[in-house]
Chains A and B, each alone.
Chain A
């Protein structure tokens, strides 16, 4: 008769309630950070955010338009989710710093997802401006989550400049190509003393699970959910993937082997 191990955890993290993501002293039990870009409507976005279980969600700072209806800020905060303003669309440290200051004024948070991109075509981070902006914002009292390339040395520079989290891309924004350089992502995660959160390029659940298995502390994604056929279903998939990847890291994967290894014992095999 098969018996179920009574000690089997019945829900993720049941074995370790202290396994939380900590960014600049803020504690999150969810390691999935959501973006809101690309959502078809506030209604579908809200369903997706709730399904994802996220506790932190990005917004962009853009011009107010007279007659703007129910605000995105309300939709996010009424679900108990913290807002994470970004500096999307900034090309220089000067623009990014001003945008972060405006976000702090509007949303009353000193947390910022810092983006300083090099151009509109690649949308890749400009590392020189990024490190400069990080240092300036840290000096002004911001908790900076820096969106960066998958370069371990730039990640180290950002940490030295005082970044609260380093957020390397898996692939360019919006591509859904997954993690193009897993070796670099693993190196960044292994060396950083601040949280490493994969940001951009995630296409589907397995990409998010891989990021966590590589040692990342969290996953930030938007397009993969907001432009999915069924955003709320995909959001639930990512929630499971991030939890699964985290548990797989903690569980400790088996080493890869080049030859088969029988899992059933040789001893006791009958002569037939």
Chain B
């Protein structure tokens, strides 16, 4: 059971990829799953075990996918969701 500062379904406002985003997601796992519209297992991987090709930083630090499920979403959290784009 994950401890929350707020009730599980309370609306939180986070800064997601530079934009204010309102969410009821209790954990980072649900937030990422909603944002990418991809069902995720508790280990942060897709049903076929692939890694989704994205990485998440929370308040300026890497949040490994294995910890998404145990990372609560709090008001004011800064979340960056990154993927590979053309470059270099």
Q: Name A's B-contacting residues (CB within 8 A).
A: 35-39, 45, 58-66, 68, 71-73, 83-86, 88, 98, 101-108, 113, 115, 222
Q: Is the CB of A107 within 8 A of B53?
A: yes
Contacting residues, chain A, for B36 (C-beta < 8 A): 64, 66
Partner of A62, one of B53, B61, B62, B87: B87
Query: Chain A at the B interface: mostly helix, strand, loop or mixed?
Result: mixed
Contacting residues, chain B, for A107 (C-beta < 8 A): 51, 53, 84
6 residue pairs of the A-B complex, CB under 8 angstroms, read: A37-B86, A64-B82, A71-B84, A88-B88, A105-B64, A105-B65
Partner of B84, one of A45, A73, A104, A222: A73
Q: Is the CB of A63 within 8 A of B17?
A: yes
Alpha-carbon gap, A105 to B65, bound state (A): 8
Counting contact residues on chain B (CB < 8 A from A), the size range is: 20 to 34
Partner of B82, one of A37, A61, A72, A84: A61
9 closest A-B pairs by beta carbon, nearest first, are A60-B87, A58-B88, A106-B55, A59-B84, A105-B55, A86-B88, A102-B55, A62-B85, A35-B88
Which one of B36, B54, B60 has the greatest number of beta carbons of chain A within 10 Å? Answer: B54
Alpha-carbon gap, A7 to B81, bound state (A): 56
Q: Is the CB of B88 within 8 A of A59?
A: yes
